[in-house]
Amino acid sequence: MVTIKLKQLRFFAHHGLYEEERKVSNEFIVDLEVDFDSTATVITKMSETINYIKLYELIKKHMLQTTDLIETLAMKITGAIHDSYPHVKKISISITKKFPPVINFSGNVSVNFEKEY
């Protein structure tokens, strides 16, 4: 099993259920792990692995589309990755909203989603 990880990807986006969240951007951090079986004894070609740049572009595309819930966003990203790479065995994604719109709240909010195929 091979795991490709993208960690601490930062995006400024307008996700949120409330109108104010959509007006003011928030900082989001995405962590992704994609597991797949490799048929190669030693991976030496891009065709034998998953291109992390394409994974980043997939995430970025969805992060720029305003969505009410980060749960929805995590599930859509996971689905898009599996559509592009059907040989993937497992996808784990974490999306963190750095500054949730909660009065007197110190910290951040994160959603983790994991899917096995």
The pLDDT value recorded for residue 7 is: 98
The pLDDT value recorded for residue 48 is: 92
Contact between residue 105 and residue 97 where contact means Cβ atoms under 8 Å apart: no
Which residue do the tokens 């003011």 mark?
Answer: 24
Contact between residue 26 and residue 80 where contact means Cβ atoms under 8 Å apart: no
pLDDT digits (tens, 9 = 90+) for 54-79: 999 999 999 999 999 999 999 999 99
Amino acid at the residue 51? N
Q: Which residues of the chain have pLDDT under 50?
A: none
The pLDDT value recorded for residue 107 is: 86
Contact between residue 28 and residue 98 where contact means Cβ atoms under 8 Å apart: yes
The pLDDT value recorded for residue 18 is: 75
Taking the model in full, what pTM does it have? 0.90
Structural domain of 42: 2-116
The pLDDT value recorded for residue 117 is: 96
Task: Give the span between the Cα atoms of 114 and 90, in whole angstroms.
Answer: 7
Split into its structural domains, the chain has a count of 1
Tokens read off for 110: 């994160």
The pLDDT value recorded for residue 28 is: 96
The pLDDT value recorded for residue 20 is: 75
The pLDDT value recorded for residue 108 is: 86
CATH classification at residue 16: 3.30.1130.10
